[in-house]
Structure 1
Amino acid sequence: MFKQIEEVLRTQSGQIWQAIGEHIAISLISLLIACLIAIPLAIALMNHHRIAEFFLQVAGVFQTIPSLAILGILIPFVGIGTVPAIIALVIYAIMPLFQNTYAGLTDIDPSLEEAATAFGLSRSRKLFRLELPLAMPMILSGLRIATVMIIGTATLAALIGAGGLGTYIILGIENNNNALLLIGAVLSAILAIVFSALIRLLERVHFTKRGVIVTLCVFLIACGAGAFKYFAPSRQTITIAGKMGSEPEILINMYKDLIQQESPKTKVVVKPNFGGTSFLFKALESKQIDVYPEFTGTVLQAIVKEKGKTPHNPEVTYKKAKTALAKDNQMTYLKPMAYQNGYDLAVSRSFAKKYHLKTISDLAKVGDKATAAFDPDFYHQADGYPGLKKAYGLHIGTVKTMESSIRYEAIADHRVKVVDGYTTDPEIQKDHLVVLKDNKHFFPPYQGAPLMTTTFADRHPEVKRALSKLAGKITTTDMQKMNYDVTFKHEKAATVARHYLKTHGLLN
């Protein structure tokens, strides 16, 4: 475990620092906006108790809504990425900031208020000379609570393509990689502890009017520095995004290299681990990104939601997907690569050798002697195990359902003989598994190809020319090996992608 963590820290230090920067920036922007809303509101309502109680109740209700639900509600209105993440974090931070500021301002000794009035202090002078300095410890306490809450919740921003340390937590869960999971979780905890400690130091300071102003200025400057990354103007770029995992990251780096070779002056930005299919497609529609790799079967099943079974002929599937995207979504779908990232059944090498297994039909003959670990979805859905039973007459003796991230561990430890998976999974190479041929072409084809809006494609013909070079290239074995190099040898996806392009004469 510690060796894995050391390896990841050594090989991915640049990406980790970038994730930390994204996490801090999102957190500071959210905290700034929450402060600008909650603190002035508490000051305005400090003498209007009934209205203040109403706002406290409303803020309390928002606290009870799960953060994922808030993100899901926001996506149709503001898209994906940084904006919905910041809005969700602001909603969560308002409650402690408003509550503590209001409590600090309303718990001041009435005799002090009377003395200030007797001395002829104006409303603004009394606020800055008496009320805010006395309430500042409570305000900072609310700020500390909100900061810790924001930093912890910001890990979910990775689910909608906003980056941050949550990327490592999600990748760790999906790939059963405890090293990535611990790096993301521990660094998030360290950030929360560091920022909490800094605010605790401020709580010990005696605040005068000047102290209040200086503290606010320092805080605003820090938040402004974090916000600069997101709101500073930048020159036109081409943004390429990919789903979670090593394979999409390899592909988007290939796209980047090919585009920059075709058009050296073009600035290309890649966004790996941007989210799932629906998030990426919405980002493409809203022009938050320009290109991303998508699979033909996924287009028909999850995006255009074609009724009926997906065709088993890869060319027919691609043509249907391309036509539907052009007609319904005004999208351009370039020709796919050779390999397919679809379902497969894999068996241990010893089991395959013992029973001479090469195809799923061969497995059907000895299915009663096998034990299998299947993903819960694969075990239940029609294009998984139930469909295989009908198509091949396959009946496996014992089937256990396991999360996709641990079923490969089960076959590596010889606890099972058969697992479901995807044809390009790097574990196939790592554990020396044998992928059984789908000799009846049961599984639908999943070939990857660049997807972009037709408007973008017409405006950038050089991008179409560059990415079309990948059509019909990259075999299943090639992609398996590249995934293995990134996942288990810890090579950088950009390095692996460039090596393939140069080796196959696609990059000068």
Structure 2
Amino acid sequence: MIEQITQILTTQSGELLQALGQHLEISLLALLIAAVIGIPLAVILMTHQKLAEAMLQVTSVLQTIPSLALLGLLIPLVGIGTVPAVITLVLYALMPIFQNTYAGLSGIDPALKEAEVAFGLPRAKRLLRIELPLAMPLIISGLRIALVMIIGTATLAALIGAGGLGTFILVGIQSNNNALLLVGATLSAGLALVVSALIRWLGMLSFKKITLSLAIFVGLFGVIEGIVRFQTPQTEITIAGKLGSEPEILMNMYRDLILADRPQYKVSVKPNFGGTTFLFNALKADKIDIYPEFTGTVLQTLVKSPTKTNQNPVKTYRHAQQALQTQFNMAYLSPMHYQNGYDLAVSAVFAKKYNVRTISDLAALNRPFTAGFDPDFYHQKDGYQGLKQTYHLNLDAKIMEPSVRYKAIADGKVDVVDGYTTDAEVARYKLVVLEDDRHFFPPYQGAPIMKAEFAKKHPEVVKALNRLADKITENEMQQMNYQVQVKHRKARDVAHDYLIEKKLITK
């Protein structure tokens, strides 16, 4: 474990620093906005006790809403990336900041307030010279609590493409790489401790020095943001993908193919971005430009398709391509060779004990075996929802992250898992894939999906990505997944090596 951590720190130092910077940027921006809202609001409501109590209740309720639910509610309104992440963090930070500011101001001795009035001090001077300095210890305490909370919650920003240290945690979970997970979690905790100590030190300064320090910080923050945005290149392409090693491998192939022809472009890769519907909505909203999608999923989940999905891969692709063009004005490029279809798998011990070889055999047992399914498979029509109707399955299904469900079946925690035909874990854990004897699962060939407008504007990108047409076999994909998930190689290195080996790029 120590060797793995050392290797990560030495080989991925650049990515770690970038993620650390993103995490800090999101956290400080959220804290700043929450402070700008929470502190003045507490000052204003000082003379309106009932409104202040109502505000306390509202901010308390906001904290009871799961952060993932808040992100999901915000995405249709403001899109993906940094904006919904910051809004969510601001909502979480409001309560401790508002509550502590209000408590600090309310706790000032009434006799002192009467003396202020008796001396004829204007309201603004009373607030700035006496009341806020006296309340400052509690205000600083509220800021510290809020910031620690923000930094911990900000790890979820990686799920919606905002980056940060959560990226390493997610990749660690997906690839079963505990060293990567530990590095991300430790850096997140360390960042919280360091920044909390800085705020505590800030609280020891005088009110004037605190105000000056905050003004300098806000100014520097604005200047840095301006420089970064000014230097953004004209052509920027964002490629995203679902959870798991395979989408990340494909995304990096897309990136390398584009950069091989257009090295001046800035191509951003956002792995572990979310589920099918989430990604498709992000594409429609112009928050991302490209992501890899599979033909069966297009027809079963994304488009309105009155007819049953054809079992012929060529016809399925053409149907999906036409439906995307007609219904959403989307371009669906030529697919790769391999099919990454869904399957159900059980352990070898389970298969032997109950003599099951097909999904029909499992259904015939008519027992509520425990199943671990990833979120996409559980909710989609081409997944469990359609499968249980076709086979009349009686399973106690639980939602699990992809890598977790395989570990669960290996440890005997669940009896059945969903998977893909290219998953490395099937061989790793010696699982038995049940035959889809009623041919429920449609063909699944992967191909880049993008807006037709984007494809027309960037024919060079279309040309580059079409080099993958009819490439990659199931065995090749399974081996690449094995390299990432079991050997813990970087997805981008595995993708790059494949493109070099197949002479799709030169370097």
TM-score by length of 1: 0.84
1:477 is matched by which residue type in structure 2?
Answer: N
Q: CA separation in 1, counterparts of 2:399 and 2:131?
A: 59
Q: CA separation in 2, counterparts of 1:464 and 1:142?
A: 51
Q: CA separation in 1, counterparts of 2:156 and 2:280?
A: 19
Name whichever of 54-63 and 222-231 sits farther off.
222-231
Match of 2:239 in 1: 240
Q: CA separation in 1, counterparts of 2:259 and 2:404?
A: 39
- Structure 2 residue 261 is matched with structure 1 residue 258: no
Report how far residue 409 of structure 1 moved.
Answer: 4.4
Alignment check: 8 A CA contact 1:5 1:183 kept:
yes
- Shift in alpha-carbon separation, 1:276–1:382, aligned structure 2, 3 A: closer
Q: CA separation in 2, counterparts of 1:416 and 1:47?
A: 58
Report how far residue 32 of structure 1 moved.
Answer: 0.9
Alignment check: 8 A CA contact 2:337 2:471 kept:
yes
Partner SS state of residue 289, structure 1: coil
Counting only pairs closer than 5 Å after superposition, residues 314-353 of structure 1 correspond to structure 2 as: 314-344=313-343
Q: Choose the corresponding residue for 1:375, options 372, 376, 381.
A: 372
- Structure 2 residue 214 is matched with structure 1 residue 216: yes
Name whichever of 469-478 and 181-190 sits farther off.
181-190
Report how far residue 84 of structure 1 moved.
Answer: 1.1
1:195 is matched by which residue type in structure 2?
Answer: V
Counting only pairs closer than 5 Å after superposition, residues 112-131 of structure 1 correspond to structure 2 as: 112-131=112-131
- Shift in alpha-carbon separation, 1:440–1:116, aligned structure 2, 3 A: closer
- Shift in alpha-carbon separation, 1:294–1:402, aligned structure 2, 3 A: closer
Name whichever of 41-50 and 479-488 sits farther off.
41-50
Alignment root-mean-square deviation, CA = 3.8
Name whichever of 229-238 and 317-326 sits farther off.
229-238
Deviation string, structure 1 residues 302-358 (Cα, Å, up to 9, x no partner): 212535643222112211211111111110001110111112356789999x9xx9x
Report how far residue 53 of structure 1 moved.
Answer: 3.2
Counting only pairs closer than 5 Å after superposition, residues 241-320 of structure 1 correspond to structure 2 as: 241-307=240-306, 309-320=308-319
Alignment check: 8 A CA contact 2:177 2:488 kept:
no
Deviation string, structure 1 residues 159-204 (Cα, Å, up to 9, x no partner): 2222222333444445555444433333322222222222222233
Match of 2:161 in 1: 161
- Shift in alpha-carbon separation, 1:410–1:199, aligned structure 2, 3 A: closer
Match of 2:505 in 1: 507
Deviation string, structure 1 residues 50-79 (Cα, Å, up to 9, x no partner): 433333333233233332222222122111
Match of 2:42 in 1: 42
- Shift in alpha-carbon separation, 1:348–1:96, aligned structure 2, 3 A: closer
Match of 2:68 in 1: 68
Name whichever of 255-264 and 306-315 sits farther off.
306-315
Alignment check: 8 A CA contact 1:28 1:226 kept:
no
Q: CA separation in 1, counterparts of 2:269 and 2:330?
A: 20
Q: CA separation in 2, counterparts of 1:3 and 1:164?
A: 24
Match of 2:403 in 1: 405
Partner SS state of residue 47, structure 2: coil
Q: CA separation in 1, counterparts of 2:16 and 2:387?
A: 37
1:257 is matched by which residue type in structure 2?
Answer: D
Partner SS state of residue 375, structure 1: strand
Q: CA separation in 2, counterparts of 1:473 and 1:344?
A: 22
1:242 is matched by which residue type in structure 2?
Answer: G
Q: CA separation in 1, counterparts of 2:43 and 2:346?
A: 67
Alignment check: 8 A CA contact 2:372 2:399 kept:
yes
Alignment check: 8 A CA contact 2:347 2:432 kept:
yes
Alignment check: 8 A CA contact 1:345 1:360 kept:
no
Report how far residue 240 of structure 1 moved.
Answer: 1.3
Q: CA separation in 2, counterparts of 1:307 and 1:175?
A: 38
Deviation string, structure 1 residues 211-267 (Cα, Å, up to 9, x no partner): 232232244246547855886662331111122222111111111121122233333
Match of 2:488 in 1: 490
Deviation string, structure 1 residues 472-497 (Cα, Å, up to 9, x no partner): 10111111111111222222222211
Match of 1:28 in 2: 28
Match of 1:56 in 2: 56
Partner SS state of residue 422, structure 2: coil
Q: CA separation in 2, counterparts of 1:281 and 1:263?
A: 26
Name whichever of 165-174 and 249-258 sits farther off.
165-174
Report how far residue 414 of structure 1 moved.
Answer: 9.4
Q: CA separation in 2, counterparts of 1:188 and 1:318?
A: 43
1:485 is matched by which residue type in structure 2?
Answer: Q
Alignment check: 8 A CA contact 1:23 1:154 kept:
yes
Deviation string, structure 1 residues 389-415 (Cα, Å, up to 9, x no partner): 89xxxx9xx999895535544776799
Name whichever of 464-473 and 437-446 sits farther off.
437-446
Q: CA separation in 1, counterparts of 2:26 and 2:227?
A: 10
Partner SS state of residue 443, structure 1: coil
Q: CA separation in 2, counterparts of 1:25 and 1:184?
A: 16
1:246 is matched by which residue type in structure 2?
Answer: S
Alignment check: 8 A CA contact 1:80 1:282 kept:
no
Partner SS state of residue 446, structure 1: coil
- Shift in alpha-carbon separation, 1:503–1:47, aligned structure 2, 3 A: same
Match of 1:421 in 2: 419
Q: CA separation in 2, counterparts of 1:240 and 1:400?
A: 32
Partner SS state of residue 338, structure 2: coil
Q: Which runs of 5+ in 1 are unaligned?
A: none
2:487 is matched by which residue type in structure 1?
Answer: K
Q: CA separation in 2, counterparts of 1:62 and 1:471?
A: 48
Match of 1:462 in 2: 460
Partner SS state of residue 269, structure 1: strand
Q: CA separation in 2, counterparts of 1:85 and 1:108?
A: 36
Q: CA separation in 2, counterparts of 1:155 and 1:501?
A: 32
Q: CA separation in 1, counterparts of 2:131 and 2:414?
A: 69
Alignment check: 8 A CA contact 1:96 1:143 kept:
yes
Counting only pairs closer than 5 Å after superposition, residues 475-486 of structure 1 correspond to structure 2 as: 475-486=473-484
Deviation string, structure 1 residues 420-456 (Cα, Å, up to 9, x no partner): 5211112245456676776875432111100100111
Partner SS state of residue 46, structure 2: coil
Q: Which runs of 5+ in 2 are unaligned?
A: none
- Shift in alpha-carbon separation, 1:307–1:217, aligned structure 2, 3 A: same
Name whichever of 482-491 and 259-268 sits farther off.
259-268
Partner SS state of residue 294, structure 1: strand
- Shift in alpha-carbon separation, 1:488–1:339, aligned structure 2, 3 A: same
Q: CA separation in 1, counterparts of 2:181 and 2:308?
A: 37
Partner SS state of residue 405, structure 1: helix
Q: CA separation in 1, counterparts of 2:22 and 2:416?
A: 41
- Shift in alpha-carbon separation, 1:215–1:131, aligned structure 2, 3 A: farther
